[in-house]
Amino acid sequence: MAQFTMKHLAESLGLNPATVSRALDPDKSHLVAEATRLRVIRAAEEVGYTPDPAAASTRRRRSSTVGILVPDLANEAIVNVLRAVGDVLERNDLTALIAESADSPERSRRTLERCRARRVEAIISLAATEADAELMASLARTIPTVLAIRTLDSVKLPTVCCDDVRGAALVADHLADLGHTRLIQLMGPPEAATFRNRARGFETAASLRGIMPAPTLFAAHATAAEGRRLGEQLFSGPRDQLPTAVFAHNDPMALGLIEAARVAGLRVPHDLSVVGYNDTTMARDFSLPLTTVRYPAQDVGTQAGILAVSLIQGGAAPKKPFIFPPQLVVRESTARPRSR
């Protein structure tokens, strides 16, 4: 039987071979209309076509590589999960190919397409957003694919994560137990399920305690700089209307907020209690040790690696996600509210 070529694919679609070539090239697919690109990719998948000139042999040869997509290599919690994944892959003679998405849908797409082109044995995404859902589902038809840290609502894929709803609820309960009733959240980018789940868990737990948090402040990026910016915005209002406690969706944002509070003349925790999330080194070593939620990074990373190896070896995909519990760590950045 003759090999199915790019020319055959182009003829079957009524397209120029150059258009098909660009659509299947991660570095040039942006030159093709999105509808055409998806049409070409689907048709190529249906017939098993790959632009790799060594396709016939690479189908039968192990690459011994696993593609791993992360949103931010400066995020300590993500790096800790990544390290645990890498340890599992190393024990199984697999090499991690790591790329950073910076939460850019286009950058994620190019990276995932390159993973497909390089015939990685599995993909582990620590950076999934709903913008990636269709491509992730497409990849999972032919490549073992695992989601870690971030989940997807619209696609059912093997998933390993933390119970972020529960983690945020622990924060709300802790602040309510201290006597705080004027609460606010600094939410990370809502495209990520982790931050949506934290927001939902916090609001639900607070409402069960009879507390209605102030309108959430949204961060463009989950960074210390954004924490400072949102803090400056928050503290520009009348002092007697400020919240007495803030839940920041990760430690960098919490520490950025504390810096903004210092500049504004507010003392933590005397004037304002602050809670972060992830329990990073900076939370423990900061001059004012931060109350935070410990993310089970070792458990999530190890299980994601084990799951990827199992799928590579032909194991069945689990019917339910692996969800690990977080832990509240109380330090010096929270206290009872003082009367104003």
pLDDT tens digits for range 111-149? 999 999 889 999 999 999 998 899 999 999 999 999 999
Domain count, the chain: 3
| Residue 84 located in a structural domain | yes
Confidence band (pLDDT; 50, 70, 90) for 65?
A: very high
**How many other CB atoms are found less than 10 A from the CB of residue 212?**
10
| Residue 338 located in a structural domain | no
| Residue 333 located in a structural domain | no
Together in a domain, 302 and 155 = yes
Residue 60 confidence (pLDDT) above 50: no
pLDDT computed for residue 58 by the predictor? 44
DSSP letter at 5 equals -
| Residue 170 located in a structural domain | yes
Closest alpha carbon to 135 in 158, 117, 110: 110
**How many other CB atoms are found less than 10 A from the CB of residue 2?**
5
Query: Taking the model in full, what pTM does it have?
Result: 0.80
Q: What is the DSSP string of 17-38?
A: HHHHHHHT-TTTGGGS-HHHHH
Together in a domain, 121 and 238 = no
| Residue 336 located in a structural domain | no
For the chain, the C-alpha Rg in angstroms (whole number) is 23
| Residue 258 located in a structural domain | yes
Residue 17 confidence (pLDDT) above 90: no
Which sign, positive or negative, has the C-alpha torsion 131, 133, 134, 140? positive
Contact 184, 218 (CB under 8 A): no
Residue 271 confidence (pLDDT) above 90: yes
Together in a domain, 69 and 168 = no
pLDDT computed for residue 27 by the predictor? 66
Confidence band (pLDDT; 50, 70, 90) for 54?
A: very low
| SS3 state of residue 115 | helix
Together in a domain, 118 and 149 = yes
Quick one: average pLDDT of 50-70?
67
Query: How does the average pLDDT of the chain come out, rounded?
Result: 91
Residue 246 confidence (pLDDT) above 70: yes
Ranking 1-15, 229-243, 265-279 by mean pLDDT, the lowest is: 1-15
Cα separation of 316 and 313, whole Å? 9
Together in a domain, 177 and 214 = yes
Together in a domain, 208 and 276 = yes
Cβ-based neighbours of 144, under 8 Å, separated by 6 or more: 121, 122, 123, 308, 311, 312
Give the range of the structural domain holding residue 53, as residue numbers without chain letter. Answer: 6-60
Cα separation of 121 and 321, whole Å? 21
Together in a domain, 209 and 305 = no
Ranking 48-52, 56-60, 186-190 by mean pLDDT, the lowest is: 56-60
183-197 confidence digits (pLDDT tens): 999 999 999 999 999
For residue 255, give the amino acid letter. Answer: L
Cβ-based neighbours of 33, under 8 Å, separated by 6 or more: none
Together in a domain, 50 and 171 = no
| Residue 1 located in a structural domain | no
